[in-house]
Structure 1
């Protein structure tokens, strides 16, 4: 029995020496990571606004390495130290030569139409490399979103042969090394400009990347006063086959129009949209039937299947509203079209305002004319005026007008004339003033 035990012990010790080094045991051995600053040498990468990607990735990589080296239990290597180009396979081979547990590829992005913004992480579509890549990327994306970058997601991409599309991921996976290609932000979109246009901003990105690594591996640092031991990680199963990207357009996109202000051009639009295979990232809108679209807008919250926004149509137009929505892989679909009444132009508004003012003046003139006409009629029919006053029961005096005054004056003159005539007759006939004569003698 003792001989058998000795043989078994020797066998187990042999297995340990043969295979022990290939089994990760981060509690006993240091974690080894390789950082790959994308591009280099004549391979400039993206160029925009006076910034070159190969320089930006190096600044971020150096900051990431410096921060990671403040943690205990980790070894950090850069695939390139200076401004030199390396093939993608050479970068993966360098990581393998250092027995790296993970390869982090640092990049910045641009889009063909210069309209996309936000950050994303690409990982392998296969096996444990997908599992580990996705788990790390979840923490990375969380930190990038907290910094203020719009999260575009964790993605896979395949080439025509059904392999990982990106060479650095493909070559790393072939060597059994998990990898993540981090596209920090877009150089050609103003939403992301503030994140890379200063040295401090780039260093913050490097520190963020290092923090994501430290959390993923549960590292601690006396220098920084942090301990990520037991930090929770996103756990996903090892996929049975390739995790394929969603290459279909969003399934639903319909719009409805609410309030329309034809004076200001404000139009309230409700969008109902969904992608059953992934999720929605952006939307844009058009007032001219799709000839021109707005800048991309964030589809928030990500889980929503509807949202409402207000757009503005220019004055003097008859809006034809249409909306486009974009999914995780920037594939878009277009909504139904809604036709609306004309939005008043400035000239039309001025003309309408002038017509209203003219109508008001005309009404005032008509009212004044009616008042004058009413005065003349009252002067011509004083008796009727008296009757009307009597009917009112209020004992109101007739309205004194110029014509009424002339009538009264004429009446007074007539009475005076009659009196004078009577006085003359009386004087000539010796008739007593009181009109009683004496009897004649016979």
Structure 2
């Protein structure tokens, strides 16, 4: 199984770039966690992070983690500063493998497809530099500069949870494409508005939901050799959307509703 190392830049005593009360180290950790979660939830892959909390990690320690664990790919997450705007990616400016070049192409295009037009993010291009983390890693590596913390428009996006979610997922998807990771069977958050041994009771519940404009269906399942009829009032990839439907069903005084992730 492929191993991806995600490196949230800075941390601990090293805040990175700062704008008012906002610190690069906090944004990089948020984005890295979204990348990790997306990869683990959707692909057969192992993911390691150089830090999972606000701790100080040296540059050499970051690359040691990747090298000593024989990672297949290394992705370092950063936030830019200096008054510009937009998103850019970096690989080492020395000799690199064709895999490194191709991975940058794929990840860069995937991220810009996700955030470019939707959020009006400027594409600053695919670049090369002599950064420690892309030079000293012994596997294909990339460093991503995710907007500018000291530009108000970019900072507003970084403060937007939906943007962080979309950005993290896009980076994860780009890595998955670049490494040709095999996808897990899709899972959904299913809102179960009752589970019945008697089919007629399930049909009554289904009809009640439909009369209140909540589409539902009956799913027959076997549990410990017993047949049950579940009334499913929606299936969502987003937990937030499932919780909204759960609340909607509860307003109909249905107390035996719950969310099932499968």
Q: Give the structure-2-normalised TM-score.
A: 0.65
Structure 1 gaps, min length 5: 1-29, 158-164, 226-442
* Residues 274-317 of structure 1 deviation map (CA, whole Å, 9 limit, x = unaligned): xxxxxxxxxxxxxxxxxxxxxxxxxxxxxxxxxxxxxxxxxxxx
**How many angstroms apart in 2 are the aligned matches of 1:191 and 1:199?**
15
CA contact (8 A) 1:134 1:154 kept: no
Q: Corresponding residue for 1:153?
A: 125
- Out of 121, 135, 144, the residue aligned to residue 89 of structure 2 is 121
Q: Retained in 2: the 8 A contact 1:118–1:151?
A: yes
SS of the residue corresponding to residue 123 of structure 1 reads strand
- 1:216 counterpart residue number: 178
Moved over 4 A (4+): none
Structure-1 residue corresponding to 2:133? 168
Could you list the per-position Cα deviations for residues 48-92 of structure 1 after superposition, in whole angstroms to 9, with x for gaps in the alignment?
143111011111111111110023431100011221111111100
Cα deviations across residues 179-236 of structure 1 (Å, max 9, x unaligned)?
A: 10000111122342342112332222111111111111222231269xxxxxxxxxxx
SS in 1 for 2:13: coil
Kindly state the Cα deviation for residue 32 of structure 1 after the two structures are TM-superposed: 0.7
Structure 2 residue aligned with 1:387: none
2:42 aligns with: 71
Q: CA separation in 2, counterparts of 1:110 and 1:178?
A: 25
Give distance in 2, aligned partners of 1:224 and 1:60: 22
Q: Hey, what does 1:101 align to over in structure 2?
A: 72
2:101 to 134, 144, 151: 134
What's the counterpart of residue 147 of structure 2? 185
For residue 51 of structure 1, the aligned residue among 22, 32, 40 is 22
Q: Distance in 1 between matches of 2:24 and 2:133?
A: 17
Larger gyration radius, structure 1 or structure 2: 1
Q: For this pair of structures, how many residues does the alignment match? A: 182
Q: Distance in 1 between matches of 2:167 and 2:93?
A: 26
Identify the residue that residue 245 of structure 1 maps to in structure 2: none
Counterpart secondary structure, 1:121: strand
Q: Is the 8 A contact 1:88 1:171 kept in 2?
A: no
Q: Match of 1:104, SS?
A: strand
Q: Which runs of 5+ in 2 are unaligned?
A: 189-262
From the two aligned structures, give the one with the greater strand fraction: 2
* Superposition pairs of residues 79-90 of structure 1, within 5 angstroms: 79-90=50-61
Structure with the larger RCO, 1 or 2 (CA within 8 Å, 6+ apart): 2
Which shows bigger deviation, 98-107 or 45-54? Answer: 45-54
Secondary structure of 1:202 counterpart:
helix
Output the aligned Cα RMSD: 1.8
Maintained 8 Å contact 1:141/1:151: no
Q: Structure 1 residues 94 and 200, CA, compared in 2 at 3 Å: closer, same or farther?
A: same
